[in-house]
Structure 1
Amino acid sequence: MWFYYFICLSLMLNFHEATAGGIESHLKSLFEKLRGREHIKLCKDHPKGNCLTVKATGLCEDPAWKNEVNQICPKTCGFCK
């Protein structure tokens, strides 16, 4: 009886090892896709911000305005990577 138990257990563990690698790779690709979408979502300029004027006046390079500009016009000012 114990012999059959160990055979079944070893088969289940081998199957689990084989499928765990596939599942892990699928989860990694899913998280990479979601992270990429979030990055794209965060890399959009605010719709009500006048980003062309901000860039033309040099506020993108001004260290005093860096935090505000990064929140309003990250794409136009080149803060997205």
Structure 2
Amino acid sequence: MSEEERRKFLLEQLEWVKDRQRIYDEIDRKLREMRGIAEIAAREAVSDAEREVLQEQMNELRDEVEKLNAQLCQSVH
């Protein structure tokens, strides 16, 4: 492998790692948001209507995390 090919390969690897890190950061952000919702539901007196809204938010975030995780699985390098 020539020096130029090696450099190109390493740059591609760097971009791949940066992309994965971006996805992991987004997953982490969503999981922290989910934790916040769970903490609110656990420690506060929440009405049934509020609990339903919180559950919808949790479901939405869970779906987003699953989509991000699927991106990680697809980007195997």
- Using structure 2 for the length normalisation, give the TM-score: 0.51
Moved over 6 A (4+): none
Point out where structure 2 has 5 or more consecutive residues left out of the alignment. Answer: 61-77
Equivalent of 2:45 in 27, 47, 50: 50
1:7 maps to none
More helix by share: 2
C-alpha distance in 2 between matches for 1:59 and 1:29 = 35
Give 3-state SS (helix, strand or coil) of 2:57's partner: coil
Q: What is the letter of the counterpart of residue 13 of structure 2?
A: G
The structural deviation recorded for 1:37 is 1.0
Q: Quote how far apart the aligned CAs of 1:60 are.
A: 5.5
Name stretches of at least 5 consecutive residues in structure 1 with no aligned partner: 1-10, 62-68
Larger relative contact order (C-alpha < 8 A, sep ≥ 6)? 2
- Counterpart of 2:20 in structure 1 is 29
- What residue identity is the alignment partner of 1:50? A
2: distance between equivalents of 1:21 and 1:12? 14
Give the alignment's Cα RMSD to 1 decimal.
Answer: 2.4
Counterpart residue number, 2:57: 79
Larger radius of gyration: 1
